Structure 1
Amino acid sequence: MNILNAPDWINNFRYPFASFNDIPQSVFDAINRDLEHVQSKNPEVSVVIPAWNEEVNILRSVASLAKMQTDIPFEIIVVNNNSTDQMQDTLDKLRIRSVFQPIQGWGPARQKGLEEAQGKYILTADADCLYPPDWINEMMAVLRQPGVACVYGRYSFIPSPGFARWKLALLETLKDSIAEVRHMKRPHLNTYGMSSGYLREYALKVGYVMHKIRGEDGRLCFDLMQFGSVEQVKADNARVWTGTRTLQKDGSFSRTLFLKIGHELRRLKGMFVAQPPHDTKTSVNP
């Protein structure tokens, strides 16, 4: 984990554009050259990205995926979840597959990508995340193991004003430690759509929740546990990087830390027992 700075490779995707109209054709051309080199017409893996109003962020995310260093054949699918900005214009200029899902919500968007995917395996990604060159290799090294039904990776935050990298590293250390506790009995609670993977065959049998509710990824993982184990991908070179916009909603780093520690302490006791069987499609968030 980088304690003082974000890794250098992230700088390649710090595009300064505020909207689709700001993006020069030369940027699309460069990304498309990379996409032609890495994507396969017969993918073993489908990287599925749901996106809503991410006309610039999706460019960054796809550009990072286009730099994958892997021999595993893969494709990229972006699901336009009924966006109202110019995201579809961005997608139309990128040499990737894009599909449309009018039903609003992360679950419906990921379900559409699951159904459209061609790969045996699905890796889930997010439009506001950046992916290191070894991400696919590291995720698949665990997902391909016998008896594994679902995997999830770790993530870090890109520093921003008020959220220094050393502070974020502290938060991530706490987050990773809590994930180790959850993994013992409730690993599905560690599964986030920004970096997870599963076998498409199994996922089609259980499906995503088809309304807008957070935790759609953990719900799917819980249902996949009947087919095999859930494993954590701990390799640092598989660590996904994202911005701090979710943290900024709390107002400050100290408040973010206070709220997150309080939330985890309140539910800590329950982490030492397995979650009982339940209908993930109708359950509600606590």
Structure 2
Amino acid sequence: MSFFKNPAWISQYDYPYQRVDDIPEHVYAQINQKLAKLTQSDNPEVSIVIAAWNEEVNMLPTIGSLADTVTKIPFEILVVNNNSTDRTQEVLDKLLIRSCNQPIQGCGPARQMGLEQAKGKYILSADADCIYPPLWIDKMIEALRPNDVACVYGRYSFIANETTPRWKLAIYEKMKDIIAELRQLKRPYLNTLGMTMGYKTADALKVGYVMRHVRGEDGRLTFDLMQFGKVVQVKSSKIRVWTGTRTLDKDGSFFDMVKNRIVKEFKRLFSYLKPLPPHDTKTS
């Protein structure tokens, strides 16, 4: 984990564009040139499924970083356009990736569409506003291959900006990782986030995503997948996914954000020590 500054390697994906019209054609060409050299395949072993809603400019760092993947595993990138009202589809059409549309609003319906359209034996779930390190695919699939593993998830970090320095974010991430270790004991599904998780396609098709607009669609799927095997945390710092702070910024100041999350986690603390009984994740 980088404590005082953002890692240098993510700076290459810091595209300065605010609108689709600002994106030069040569940027698409550079990304496509890299994608063309990868082991993308019509018969992939892995499908990287990305749900996108109004991510017209945010998509570039995501696809650009995935284009720099280092792997020999045949894979595909599949983006589900979740009823976007901006020009997300226009950006997708200019990139050498697959896309499809899900008119039902919500991450659950979008990821379900990706699950049904995916060609790979394994699915890696990604978000449309993240930066992925070169070894992400290999390390995640290495952990997912064993027969007794149903789901894997990785760790993530926040990109520092003008208002929130990296050291503050690093402290928060350390707290987050400690809570994740506690959750992993009895309730690992609470740790799985769609930005960096993986599962076997055949198993996921048996249980499916919740088909309504509700938070926690990733954890609900993982809870149902636990009948097929264990949930594994991939702790390697080499595959930390990097994302912006827009989810944190909703709480206002950094102090308010940390305080709110400490209070919330303290209230839940003892519940993490016992498993949640079986229940219907689609209606709960």
RMSD: 0.6
1:27 maps to what in 2? 27
CA distance in 2, matches of 1:145, 1:205: 19
2:36 maps to what in 1? 36
| Contact map agreement 1:80 1:88 (CA 8 A) in 2 | yes
CA distance in 2, matches of 1:137, 1:254: 37
1:11 maps to what in 2? 11
Listed as ranges, the gaps of 5+ residues in structure 2 are: none
- Is 1:204 aligned with 2:205? yes
Cα distance, 1:161 vs structure 2: 2.2
> Which structure 2 residues correspond to residues 5-154 of structure 1 after superposition, within 5 A?
5-38=5-38, 39-154=40-155
2:244 maps to what in 1? 243
**Partner SS state of residue 151, structure 2:** strand
Per-residue displacement from partner, 1:210-234 (whole Å, max 9, x unpaired)?
0000100000000000001100000
Q: After TM superposition, what 4+ stretches of structure 1 lie above 6 angstroms from structure 2? A: none
CA distance in 2, matches of 1:237, 1:40: 25
The one-letter amino acid of 2:264's match is H
- TM-score, normalised via structure 1 length: 0.98
| Contact map agreement 1:186 1:274 (CA 8 A) in 2 | yes
- TM-score, normalised via structure 2 length: 0.99
**Partner SS state of residue 107, structure 1:** helix
Per-residue displacement from partner, 1:31-77 (whole Å, max 9, x unpaired)?
00111111222210000000000001111101100100011111000
| Contact map agreement 1:45 1:74 (CA 8 A) in 2 | yes
| Contact map agreement 1:122 1:197 (CA 8 A) in 2 | yes
| Contact map agreement 1:162 1:253 (CA 8 A) in 2 | no
CA distance in 2, matches of 1:237, 1:41: 28
**Partner SS state of residue 89, structure 1:** helix
CA distance in 1, matches of 2:19, 2:85: 13
The one-letter amino acid of 1:73's match is P
CA distance in 2, matches of 1:162, 1:56: 21
Give % identity.
61
Per-residue displacement from partner, 1:183-227 (whole Å, max 9, x unpaired)?
000000000000000000000000000000010000000000000
CA distance in 2, matches of 1:30, 1:162: 31
1:193 maps to what in 2? 194
CA distance in 2, matches of 1:5, 1:138: 24
CA distance in 1, matches of 2:185, 2:237: 21
Cα distance, 1:6 vs structure 2: 1.3
